[in-house]
Amino acid sequence: MNRITVIALNTFRETLRDKILYNLVFFGLLLIGSSILLSTLTIGEQVKIIEDIGLASINLFGVIIAIFVGIGLVSKEIEKRTIFTIIAKPVPRYLFLLGKYSGLALTLLVNVGIMAAGFFLTILVSKAGLHLALLKAIGLIFMELLVITAVAVMFSTFTTPTLSATFTLAIYVIGHLTDDLKVLGAKMGESLTKTILDGLYYLLPNLDYFNVKGQAVHGLPIEPSYLVSAATYGIAYSTMLLILACLIFQRRDFK
């Protein structure tokens, strides 16, 4: 087994032994299932409500897992000094980081998979029809989680767990508002503020890119070319973040 795999599998095992994870997945499933009850309270549109709530739950709980389980993975190792013996092994630091990232990605994949299964089950129970667009939406949710995890890993290479969580959460929120940054910047005319807003627009991840939940629920087409470009964007963005994370990690002291 190569060393990234060894670290990734151990990370995966670590998350599986974390009780928080089970609680999160449990609540995610609960919310997805409860959409049946909620939908009966409304007239018509029942299918849309179930789909809406289901996708939103997968997204929300995915993000919570990515941030709160993800942050701990690197910064807690530094804080608890478990990293000392790992660094002393013949494992380059960047491999450790990439292993951690891959392990968390695997955790997210499994969890999103479980929640998606719960979601599809709910749809079948409620006798609504499954359609491919839902799967596409879930695929892009996973892509978004990969980007957020990369953000979390990047921050946790140099700050405390609490600060990393705060920063990542902030990036997540602003990441969904980047279009607004652009619009706001356009209104500013030529000024320093505009330059800064434009800079932020290009620097921060445009997370709305990964949001096709609305289209999926309303049966609007999601072109394969859109999926490809969103995935490319997500992978490129995560790669840049991970390279940055490795560069920071490679030079830092473990005090």
22 in contact with other proteins (CB under 8 A):
no
Among 37, 88, 132, 203, binds other proteins (CB under 8 A): 88
86 in contact with other proteins (CB under 8 A):
yes
114 in contact with other proteins (CB under 8 A):
no
Number of residues that bind other proteins (CB under 8 A): 25
Positive or negative, the CA dihedral 67, 131, 217, 212 is: positive
95: number of Cβ within 10 Å: 16
Among 22, 26, 84, 202, binds other proteins (CB under 8 A): 84
In whole angstroms, give the CA distance from residue 53 to residue 57: 6
Nearer to other proteins, 99 or 185 (CB): 99
Among 1, 41, 132, 203, binds other proteins (CB under 8 A): 1
Nearer to other proteins, 44 or 90 (CB): 90
Minimum separation from the CB atom of position 83 to other proteins (A): 8
127: number of Cβ within 10 Å: 8
Stretch that binds other proteins, among 31-39, 144-152, 179-187, 247-255 (CB under 8 A): 247-255
80 in contact with other proteins (CB under 8 A):
yes
In whole angstroms, give the CA distance from residue 232 to residue 37: 38
235 in contact with other proteins (CB under 8 A):
no
Positive or negative, the CA dihedral 16, 19, 20, 23 is: positive
225 in contact with other proteins (CB under 8 A):
no
In whole angstroms, give the CA distance from residue 240 to residue 242: 5
229 in contact with other proteins (CB under 8 A):
no
In the DSSP assignment, the letter for residue 254 is -
23 in contact with other proteins (CB under 8 A):
no
Among 13, 23, 117, 220, binds other proteins (CB under 8 A): 13
Site string for other proteins, 142-161 (x = CB under 8 A): --------------------
Q: Max Cα separation, the chain?
A: 63
Number of residues in the chain: 255
247 in contact with other proteins (CB under 8 A):
no
Cβ pair 188, 95 in contact under 8 A: no
In whole angstroms, give the CA distance from residue 236 to residue 209: 13
List, as one string, the DSSP characters of 120-131. Answer: HHHHHHTTPPP-
- Footprint of other proteins (CB under 8 A): 1, 3, 6-7, 10, 13-14, 17-18, 80-82, 84-92, 251, 253-255
